[in-house]
Amino acid sequence: MIFLVCVVLFVRLALGFEFPIPWNDETAFISQAFEFSRTGSFYVYGLNSERTVMWMPPGFMLLLAGVYKVFGYSFEVSRWVSCVLYLGMAAVALLVLRISLQGWRRHLGMLLMLMAFLSPFALVTSNIARMETLYSLLFLLSLLASLKRQYALGLALVLLAATVHFNAVYFLLPYAVLVAWKILRRESLTVGSWELLALVVAVAALAGYGLFVLKNIGGFLEDMQFQFAYKLGSPVMGGRSGWMLVGLCLCVPALQLLAHRRFAAETLLSLYGVAFIAMTLNGHNMWYYFAFSFGFWLLALGALASSRELAAPFAKSACIAVAVMMIAAQGYYSYRSTPEHDPFKPSLGKLVRDFLPDTEIDKVRSFVRSLPPGTTVSFGYSGVEPYFFADFAASGALWSGSAYSVTKVFPPRTLDYRVLCDSVMIPAYLALYDWDGFPRKSEDSGCTITRLNKEVTGEP
């Protein structure tokens, strides 16, 4: 575990903006958090000049805003939040192991946990200002609560996670199965007073989000239309192969229920594993790939837990065989090659170079601070914008994308300046999104400032 902590901190300190490089998702989420910390509003001119962008629940942005209030704003601080949350995930995972397994099974489970947490797909989430670490921490906490038979608390944490990301819907699966099982078996379900309070808090948080949505219902519907169009552009659950994978994985908790004749730890572990896998298959997002490893890890833990509880030799052997298959799948999905992630996986070459030299960042920072209020500057929505949010706030100038908004391309905006920051670390496939006439070339050419409006004052 000391090794895991050292690796995570090494990534944050030595590869702070190289693994991964700045991403445009960070621009969207950090900008709303930064504005909320300053003005109490999620409206960001650069995302949409007319209204608040509503494509994501605000939970992660609220957390970032609180951190900015306490520690001040910087791009570094934003990524440190994910680093700390990731270490929190590891601590909760240890507690899950402690409750679920004993003896050699626990030691094997810890090795599998390290395989999951040290996967490049997982490590990258510890160093990017996205919400994967926050909602995954909440999901693991909900699993931990349910393993302690505090099912209502577990459900409350899943509901709370819905204010961070819509992916919480997949983690209603264990509780749907629990309720169905209790009804069929005519078993009672006790809810403690603290659990009831947690449910009330979670429902209140969801109600608050609902009021926020109602206040911005037009923008919400428009942005959700964009999100669904994006998701439905790919086959649901990844197509036939994805549905088959989910079906096979669901066989594990189904057989556990039949074999043990009770809803207990081994079934919970497996159901949470299936939820992580389904989230990845149906999310169609490169940042979700980490969840494959976590899902198969939990399925392996569930099979190992069953092998301890079942007395029949054949049943024990079958559980071990399932665990071996899950471990093999975890190994494959933890370290496979993908065209999206391969360009920015850690390497020795990245240790001796920076994504952008400090001199280039300082040059743009000085330029932004010299601009008169209202001047508009586009960075091509490339992910480097968070370096300069504080500078724009100081000068009164406005950063902007080239498109009408982050969910609508046309009509394009009229801008005063274009700043293009290029680096050899930028994958070639990202240039496909540079449609505004200033494409990146994956070269170490630094930041180029171009005046687009001859009538503006100031020197580029």
Please tell me whether residues 395 and 331 are part of one structural domain. Answer: no
**Listed residues 344, 369, 396: the one ending a domain:** 344
Would 350 be classed as within a structural domain? Answer: no
Please tell me whether residues 380 and 322 are part of one structural domain. Answer: no
Give the model's pLDDT for residue 458: 56
**Those residues with Cβ within 8 angstroms of residue 258's Cβ, 6 or more apart along the chain or in another chain:** none
Please tell me whether residues 396 and 302 are part of one structural domain. Answer: no
Give the model's pLDDT for residue 459: 55
Would 456 be classed as within a structural domain? Answer: no
Please tell me whether residues 338 and 371 are part of one structural domain. Answer: no
**Listed residues 309, 344, 379: the one ending a domain:** 344
Q: Are 306 and 260 in contact (CB under 8 A)?
A: yes
Would 118 be classed as within a structural domain? Answer: yes
Give CA torsion, residues 126, 95, 277, 78, to 10 deg: -20
Would 137 be classed as within a structural domain? Answer: yes
Please tell me whether residues 227 and 296 are part of one structural domain. Answer: yes
Give the model's pLDDT for residue 456: 76
pTM: 0.97
Give the model's pLDDT for residue 347: 85
Question: How many angstroms separate the CA atoms of 352 and 15, rounded?
Answer: 10
Please tell me whether residues 45 and 104 are part of one structural domain. Answer: yes
Question: How many angstroms separate the CA atoms of 15 and 4, rounded?
Answer: 16
Please tell me whether residues 328 and 364 are part of one structural domain. Answer: no
Would 242 be classed as within a structural domain? Answer: yes
**Those residues with Cβ within 8 angstroms of residue 448's Cβ, 6 or more apart along the chain or in another chain:** 419, 420, 421, 422
Segments forming the whole domain that contains residue 424: 358-451
Would 48 be classed as within a structural domain? Answer: yes
Number of domains forming the structure of the chain: 2
**Those residues with Cβ within 8 angstroms of residue 345's Cβ, 6 or more apart along the chain or in another chain:** 19, 120
Low-confidence ranges of the chain (pLDDT < 70): 457-460
Please tell me whether residues 329 and 396 are part of one structural domain. Answer: no
Please tell me whether residues 107 and 35 are part of one structural domain. Answer: yes
Give the model's pLDDT for residue 349: 84
Two tokens at 335? 């370290």
Q: Where are the alpha helices (DSSP H) in 353-419?
A: 358-369, 389-395
Would 423 be classed as within a structural domain? Answer: yes
Please tell me whether residues 240 and 321 are part of one structural domain. Answer: yes
Please tell me whether residues 74 and 210 are part of one structural domain. Answer: yes
Give the model's pLDDT for residue 230: 85
Task: Please provide residue 276's backbone torsions phi and psi, each rounded to the nearest 5 degrees.
Answer: -60, -40
Could you give the C-alpha distances from 225 to 51, 160, 165, 231, 232, in angstroms and in order? Answer: 16, 24, 16, 10, 10
Please tell me whether residues 420 and 323 are part of one structural domain. Answer: no
Q: Are 202 and 164 in contact (CB under 8 A)?
A: no
Would 297 be classed as within a structural domain? Answer: yes
